[in-house]
Structure 1
Amino acid sequence: MSAADSGPVARAGVIGWPVDHSLSPVMHRHWLSVHGIDGRYDRIPVPPDALPAAFDRVRTGELRGFNVTLPHKLAAPALVDIVSDRARRAGSVNTVVRRSDGSLEGDSTDGYGFLESVREIRPDYRPAARPVCLLGAGGAARSIAAVLLDAGCPEVRIVNRSPDRAAALHDHLGDGIRLHDLDAATVAAAGCGLLVNTTSLGMKGQPPMDPALQGALLAPADDTVLVADIVYTPLATALLQAAAARGLATVDGLGMLLHQGRPGFAAWFGVAPAVTAALRQAMLDHLRAG
């Protein structure tokens, strides 16, 4: 993706409804400061009935683009001119960029961000080596499953309460997906090299993960299994604590958030940013303060 010149102050942001909770401005403003860029990145509240008008602000060059968060990710593909391959696979768009010809490109960087966060902890991780087990079948699961399958993962096993949602994920992504009920969690996790919670279970303000389910998922894990959770409030979820207590390597949800922001920043502001210890600390400080 490439961004067009839109004046002396490059502007981007994140749209959602509500959007006050988004941590994206903390991340992007950190990068703007580090790289000395005269730019802005703001939260932009956009109700669903105003969504087309928000995209028009990018078409006119007022904004170079924006991130898209709930509830707009599924509606966004219909409002751009070009949908990237990975956004088509994910079935959603979380990053919009105005190209040099004025057209809008929609991308999905969530799966990319997840895989990069895993490789940050384990640089030699190879998706093709072993199956992966995902808890959940929502939008995050679809993005993560798509990027893993495209990277050669032989099988993504979905453990989910809702058979309809799991079936929809299978229909969209194809034969690399295997579906399992909650009571078959141990069977699904057996032989997997990566176990991921893609649900909001364990998040602050949400129901905790059932300890029995957590135990079933971890039961077959050997000491090479990597356990990840996309939740980052709290950073150390009960699942990650239980995995760490068994000596397993873990990946928290903050890394996914940080890495998914890199492609958009590069497109809007012309600099490829890095995920550093200083950035992670800035995000943690904001979380603790909030």
Structure 2
Amino acid sequence: MSDGTPPVAAVLLAPGETSRLPNLFDHWLAATGLPGRYLPLTVQADDLREVITALPKAGFAGVHISAPYQKMVLDHADIITDRAALMSGANTLIFRRDGKIHADNTDGYGFVENIRQNVPGWNPKAGPVVLFGAGRAARVVLSALIEVGVESIRLTARTRPKAEQLRSEFGRRIEVFDWLKAGNLAEGAAMVVNATPLGSRGYTEFRVPIDGLVSGGVACDLTIDPPATRFLRQAASYGCYTVDGVGMMIYQSAPSFERWFGERPPNDDATRYAAAS
């Protein structure tokens, strides 16, 4: 901060929510030796505007926004990045020194950077991508894949109208398939992405045949609990590259840490352990 006070940041959560971000940021602050704090703050939806307005005055450098509030916070921002507008939500608010609130979304960056760091020589144009899901996570994936040049995306979701809506927004590179007929979608594909809750703790397993993936194919699961899902373990047994949700969380959080605390954080085994705890 300009007055020498150590910066403070937080994640804003809806009632009943939890987050692993405080563990990750506490680890990074300890690992870098930088001063500062990162807090979990539970906020009622009706109080969101008041809290966001008050936090900069309390010395906060910025906040992360949990999924239920990511669209709402756009109404309280002075500056909205193109990627936050495209994703219809912000996962990060930066409280600028000129008093303006800057809304951004680093989810797509985290998704792509996680793949690039875990798949040597990854080529977005290697072949079709199969995407399961049509919620906010799927929107993030679609936006990121199109931005890096993926030419064909096979999209399926249990609620087909939601998938059709995404196709109408993101365009001709997307082809929508019925959920019940999605068993062979991975045939000849270069990547399969699970952007549904399936496979997460408390949900049924995500089961999809992936033996049809091209050689060197990629299996990506946005689930973080557990990090090593059945889907990823199966993909690894077929020789696929596997990319998990914990890595995505780390890469999407690193730019915020650097912005708020002044140094790029490490990404090592200890970081993964902290993020997954």
Same fold (TM over 0.5): yes
Q: CA RMSD in A?
A: 1.8
What is the deviation of 1:32? 1.1
C-alpha spacing 1:6/1:123, structure 2 compared with 1 (3 Å)? farther
4+ runs of 1 displaced by more than 6 Å? none
Code of the residue aligned with 2:22 in structure 1: it is P
What is the deviation of 1:145? 1.0
Matched, 1:154 2:127: no
What is the CA deviation profile of residues 51-77 of structure 1, one whole-angstrom value per residue up to 9, with x for unaligned ones? 101210244353111000131012121
* Aligned partner of 1:196 among 180, 193, 196: 193
Tell me, yes or no, if the aligned pair for 2:21 and 2:275 is still in contact at 8 Å: no
Structure 2 counterpart of 1:23? 20
What is the deviation of 1:50? 0.9
Tell me, yes or no, if the aligned pair for 1:160 and 1:181 is still in contact at 8 Å: yes
Please state whether the residue corresponding to 1:134 is helix, strand or coil: strand
* Aligned partner of 2:82 among 79, 82, 85: 85
Tell me, yes or no, if the aligned pair for 2:250 and 2:275 is still in contact at 8 Å: no
Matched, 1:267 2:259: yes
Matched, 1:143 2:135: no
| Contiguous gaps of at least 5 residues in structure 2 | none
Please state whether the residue corresponding to 1:64 is helix, strand or coil: strand
Structure 1 counterpart of 2:129? 132
What is the deviation of 1:88? 1.4
Structure 1 counterpart of 2:202? 205
Code of the residue aligned with 1:228 in structure 2: it is C
Structure 1 counterpart of 2:238? 246
Q: Provide the TM-score with structure 2 as the length reference.
A: 0.93
Please state whether the residue corresponding to 1:124 is helix, strand or coil: coil
What is the deviation of 1:146? 0.2
What is the CA deviation profile of residues 89-117 of structure 1, one whole-angstrom value per residue up to 9, with x for unaligned ones? 21111011012321111111111111111
What is the deviation of 1:48? 0.7
Tell me, yes or no, if the aligned pair for 1:131 and 1:193 is still in contact at 8 Å: yes
Structure 1 counterpart of 2:91? 94
Q: 2 CA distance for matches of 1:201 and 1:6?
A: 47
Bigger Cα displacement from structure 2, 238-247 vs 178-187:
178-187
Q: 1 CA distance for matches of 2:239 and 2:250?
A: 25
Aligned length: 277
Matched, 1:229 2:226: no
What is the deviation of 1:160? 0.8
Please state whether the residue corresponding to 2:69 is helix, strand or coil: coil
